[in-house]
Structure 1
Amino acid sequence: MNSIPSSEVLIIGAGPAGLMLANILGMYGRSVTVLEARDELIDYPRGVGLDDESLRTIQTVGLVDTVLPHTAPQHIMRLVNGSGKTIMINNPQTREFGWDRKHAFIQPEVDKALYAGLAQYPNINVHFGHLVEDVIEDAAGVTAIARVTNADGTETEHRFSAQYLVGCEGGKSPTRKRMGVSFEGDSPSTRWLVVDVDNDPLGTPNVFLGADPKRPYVSIGLPHAVRRWEFMLHDHEDESVVTSKEWVAEMLKDHVPDPHNLSYIRRRVFTHHGRVAGSFRKGRQLIAGDAAHLMPVWMGQGWNSGMRDATNLGWKLTSVLTGTAGEDILDTYTSERKDHAKAMVDLSMTLGSVIKITNPLAVAARDAASSVLNLFPSAKSYFSDMRFKPMPRYTAGVLADPTTQASGTAAAKLTSKLIPVKTANRKVSPVGVQFPQPRVNSQLDENLLLDDVIGNWWTVLVWGNDPKDVLPAHSIKALEALGAKLVALVPETQREWAQEHMSEDVLVLGDHTGAVKKWFDERPTPMIFLRPDRFVAGACLHQHGPATLQAILDSMGSAADHSPSKAQDSALAV
């Protein structure tokens, strides 16, 4: 038995969620050990859709330039009926978060980029061929017992200790089972055949969801000249038969001029699952990615949901490890992520049920309804702009209510009777949602994405004013202890003046497009407390700033007020 030097966090599973979480923790200077049962990363295609939210996280950890070559932006989806008629188009145009909303991608290549990114962090160690068979947890931490098969066939037991363990081992997660939490949902019996080929014989980009009652299908153009098809299988069709070249060629005869001359990457049968764990944390063990939720492929949200988990959890683990937050902040990982994961599962299941309709009368009704809806611009844009996709909105967690300044909660609407609120264009609160990523000018450069300028930790954004002029000294001291960056956003015409007259340690950014001013014009919240994951923890008028900040700190169980020297040391690490 070998004992390895301890680390702060153990991650089990070198899949996308585990790799991204390791990158985030590495970026914050934390020590991490990743244990993977396989001898190498999975090298066959799986996920094919990458959202703007995920790309924003990839941008944060500095890997966007290595990931983009394996993506195709503006991935348009067309839902077509059995006659090949388009009944719905999904083509969102927004770049709200700094990137196109939808990208196709080659998962093995992007996962490799995430793995390669870990090499820059000396405190991150990845061990392949380590099968974790048991975990011992006590008040001080966790110990994972892993079995390693040596080159000569003998086996060795290795023990790895850490303060926390995160299971990212997929849908059959042993960590989730050890935690004893439920995994509720459905696993429909419907099977699908997935076929990936090189040298795309069609060459058309984008996605076609074939709602054909005879046999629903999917056809997807991917980067690197890869084409994917998926076909729904009938109950009587045997797996050993449907994966043969002859059977696949028969399936593809209506899709490809010559289905017998293809370069196959894989032919594989799979079943969709729609499940969410009852809790994402128990004690010192947590779960992320498919270990926490499984969802059908229709919305392309499995990989992206794992990225959201890592983005939410990474800064919270860092906050606990550095003393800027109490351990209870880890419970907000479940309260913030579970409901959205379930919403994505439910939407994916619903879309799948629309595509899989085989009853002729139901098919006719669906196609007729879509034709009518397409006559109405508002209904048509609802689908085209992807507004049916539930965006994350946190109502309980690391938040402060924008009206009452209550800690740990945030109503979706502003209800204050103050004139600035009553007269605002939008009464929907920005608290609990992701802040947009506009382009701005700084003293050093122009037309920069916001996140590249403000860094990767807490930020206070104030429109048109110096944060130090509108917050009292005790609030500034608490923000310094938290390691927060103070930012003034001003019209580009005022940037030079602001740089001369505002505090030296306040970052001044110029709004040269007008997008930032428009955002603040429509919302009576000129002060934003931005979390490291780019979600808004608090938004308020200036005079509510101190109370809002204190509510946020209370929701973190923050140690910042009580141990400023420790928190300031922590800020240096991030």
Structure 2
Amino acid sequence: MTTETMTPVTIVGAGPVGLMLANLLSAYNIPVVVIEKNATTVQAPRAVSIDDESLRALQIAGLADPLKAKCAMDYGSVYLGPGRRPFARVSPTSAEYGHPRRSAFAQPELEALLADGLKRFARAEVRFEQEVVGLTQNDNHVTLEVKRSDGSTYMHTSRYVAACDGGRSPLRHMINVGMQGYTYEKKWLIIDLKGTRDNFRETRVYCDPRRPGINLPGPNRTRRFEFMLLEGETDEQVTHPDFISKLLRDHGPDEGIEIVRKQVYTFHARMATDWKKGNVFLLGDAAHLTPPFAGQGLNSGLRDAANLSWKLAAVLNGQMAPAVLESYQQERPEHAWQLIEMAVKLGRVMMPETMFKAHLLEAGFRALQLIPPAHEYITQMRYKPKPRFSKGFFVRDGADLKKTRVGRMLPQPWVETEHDRKTHRLDDILGHGFTLIALTETPETAFEGLPPLPFEEKLGLKRVCIAPRYYNAFPAAPSAATTVRDVYGDFEKHTNAHDVWLLVRPDRYVMACIPRQSPQAAVAELTRLLES
């Protein structure tokens, strides 16, 4: 048995969450090793929906545009009653975070893209056909016993380990962390098709107690159906070709086309009791299991990777103390559980128990169309919990949780740059580190009155001025900050930050609002937090 030199971060599991974490850490210049028991990335369809927050995380890793080229971008949902008449539509038009709210993708293509993306980094390594069979840890490192495909084993030591090894997570069991929540009684049949004849590119949701189901379009003429099993139906019965043919015949023109996968699933709404134990972190399905009704399972895992990656990098690069890592457990579970609850509520809409409840549901949603604010709440997908934290690694500004800008994800508008007069998404200007942003009409004086920031050099803090839409972004005098113009006024609209400087974390969450009139207290609190 051999032992290796210690690795800064080892990721167990080369699924989308593990590979995403590896790409982000590599972008932050942290060496990583990924260990995966399977021979390749996944080849069969699995997750099919990706949201704006996940695309933004991929943008940080430099992979958003390549994935978007493979997606069916920007689609919504139509809810149908028992008579197959539409009674509600979800069709969001805003792109506050720089990308469409909902798009369709193929998980095999995402995983292949992420795996290929690691080839950009000399210090990133993926080891397929290797399985972690043992784990011990102390205050300083984690030791993994790894078994190769030939049966031989070796000891692998890492400063930190990320368990991205799925819902059954062997590593979660090795560190004795349990799950809480519940499992749905009803099973669902998943059917993935290739070469659909159906040109409709919105999701159809069948709110029919006789057979609840979902019909999801995908890229490249793929399509997924999900149907709830009824009382007494068996796995063997519902996966029989004759049974599937009848289902497809009853729900569109796709009877007889190629079936890529048919699988019966049980859905869960569960969460790990701890997301961090010692130097081991749980991410993705290892930390939370989400019903598929909102398409948020994979997206929540990618959020985990975006949250943890910069914190690990800051510690390993000597910019912050290890205490920052505790904020992963503080920040992520609350938002992840909110999305699980949203999925559960959508599931109740999809699965009315009786025809009476189905017709009552339909009538209620039709009535909401007469009330514009309620109608927009549904159509614009405002029921989805906002990406924001009530506790964690930031400095509170005293404002109400629903009104504060602190702990929220920063909007990502289109901005015009000073040197080439071209438009870019804001994150492409911000880079990979911390940013101090000033919304200002006079960029040359944007940071006047700001006290010295003791942490500025250590963090490599970048200063960015954003000029409002109707002002020049190009200062009359030289400025030490990068200057851009808010092309469509979206940044000003969503932040209204003329009275503060915004300190933004690498994951694009606002860490602090520093008041321009009296900045001393906020700077002192930031200094304490960043240097503790």
- Considering the TM-score relative to the shorter chain, is it more than 0.5? yes
Opposite residue 314 of structure 2, the aligned amino acid is S
User: Which residue of structure 2 lines up, in the alignment, with residue 552 of structure 1?
Assistant: 526
Say whether residues 1:462 and 2:438 are aligned partners: yes
Kindly state the Cα deviation for residue 157 of structure 1 after the two structures are TM-superposed.
0.3
Q: Secondary structure at the match of 2:200?
A: coil
User: Which residue of structure 2 lines up, in the alignment, with residue 360 of structure 1?
Assistant: 355
Partner Cα distance (2:296, 2:366) in 1: 27
Kindly state the Cα deviation for residue 549 of structure 1 after the two structures are TM-superposed.
3.3
Distance 1:192 1:538, change over 3 A: same
Distance 1:526 1:139, change over 3 A: closer
Contact 1:75–1:102 (CA under 8 A) maintained in structure 2: yes
TM-score, with length taken from structure 2: 0.95
Distance 1:278 1:549, change over 3 A: farther
User: Which residue of structure 2 lines up, in the alignment, with residue 319 of structure 1?
Assistant: 314
Contact 2:307–2:507 (CA under 8 A) maintained in structure 1: yes
Contact 2:439–2:498 (CA under 8 A) maintained in structure 1: no
User: Which residue of structure 2 lines up, in the alignment, with residue 176 of structure 1?
Assistant: 172
Q: Deviations over 1:523-565 (max 9, x none)?
A: 5643100110000011132144343233234334x36xxxxxx
Distance 1:502 1:489, change over 3 A: farther
Say whether residues 1:126 and 2:122 are aligned partners: no
Unaligned runs of at least 5 residues, structure 1: 404-409, 414-427, 560-574
User: Which residue of structure 2 lines up, in the alignment, with residue 14 of structure 1?
Assistant: 14
User: Which residue of structure 2 lines up, in the alignment, with residue 270 of structure 1?
Assistant: 265
Q: Deviations over 1:159-207 (max 9, x none)?
A: 2111000100111112222332331111112111111111112222120
Say whether residues 1:252 and 2:248 are aligned partners: yes
Distance 1:496 1:211, change over 3 A: closer
Distance 1:516 1:344, change over 3 A: closer
User: Which residue of structure 2 lines up, in the alignment, with residue 567 of structure 1?
Assistant: none
Contact 1:45–1:108 (CA under 8 A) maintained in structure 2: yes
Q: Which of 540, 543, 549 is the equivalent residue of 2:514?
A: 540
Q: Secondary structure at the match of 1:189?
A: strand
Query: Counterparts of 1:125-164 in structure 2 under 5 Å?
Result: 125-150=125-150, 155-164=151-160
User: Which residue of structure 1 lines up, in the alignment, with residue 113 of structure 2?
Assistant: 113
Kindly state the Cα deviation for residue 493 of structure 1 after the two structures are TM-superposed.
6.4
Q: Between Structure 1 and Structure 2, which shows a larger proportion of helix residues?
A: 1
Q: Deviations over 1:72-101 (max 9, x none)?
A: 122111111111111211111101111111
Q: Which of 348, 351, 354 is the equivalent residue of 2:346?
A: 351
User: Which residue of structure 2 lines up, in the alignment, with residue 571 of structure 1?
Assistant: none
Partner Cα distance (1:548, 1:216) in 2: 52
Contact 1:524–1:541 (CA under 8 A) maintained in structure 2: no
Q: Secondary structure at the match of 2:181?
A: strand
User: Which residue of structure 1 lines up, in the alignment, with residue 413 of structure 2?
Assistant: 438
Partner Cα distance (2:155, 2:446) in 1: 49
Contact 2:49–2:104 (CA under 8 A) maintained in structure 1: yes
Contact 2:141–2:159 (CA under 8 A) maintained in structure 1: yes
Partner Cα distance (2:218, 2:262) in 1: 16
Partner Cα distance (1:377, 1:104) in 2: 28
User: Which residue of structure 2 lines up, in the alignment, with residue 225 of structure 1?
Assistant: 221
User: Which residue of structure 2 lines up, in the alignment, with residue 208 of structure 1?
Assistant: 204
Partner Cα distance (2:268, 2:224) in 1: 20
Kindly state the Cα deviation for residue 331 of structure 1 after the two structures are TM-superposed.
1.3
Opposite residue 132 of structure 2, the aligned amino acid is V
Pick which of 317-326 and 26-35 moved more: 317-326
Query: Counterparts of 1:292-331 in structure 2 under 5 Å?
Result: 292-331=287-326
Kindly state the Cα deviation for residue 279 of structure 1 after the two structures are TM-superposed.
1.9
Distance 1:25 1:239, change over 3 A: same
Contact 1:397–1:555 (CA under 8 A) maintained in structure 2: no
Kindly state the Cα deviation for residue 495 of structure 1 after the two structures are TM-superposed.
4.0
Q: Secondary structure at the match of 1:73?
A: coil
Q: Deviations over 1:286-317 (max 9, x none)?
A: 10011110001110001110111000000011
Pick which of 193-202 and 235-244 moved more: 235-244
Partner Cα distance (1:279, 1:79) in 2: 37
Pick which of 289-298 and 356-365 moved more: 356-365
TM-score, with length taken from structure 1: 0.89
Aligned length: 528
User: Which residue of structure 2 lines up, in the alignment, with residue 418 of structure 1?
Assistant: none
Say whether residues 1:528 and 2:517 are aligned partners: no
Partner Cα distance (2:426, 2:473) in 1: 18
Opposite residue 412 of structure 1, the aligned amino acid is L
Unaligned runs of at least 5 residues, structure 2: none
Partner Cα distance (1:395, 1:86) in 2: 37
Q: Deviations over 1:341-389 (max 9, x none)?
A: 1111111011112211232222232222222222211111111000001
Q: Secondary structure at the match of 1:396?
A: coil
Note the aligned Cα RMSD (angstroms). 1.8
Partner Cα distance (1:551, 1:45) in 2: 48
Distance 1:258 1:37, change over 3 A: closer
Opposite residue 50 of structure 1, the aligned amino acid is I
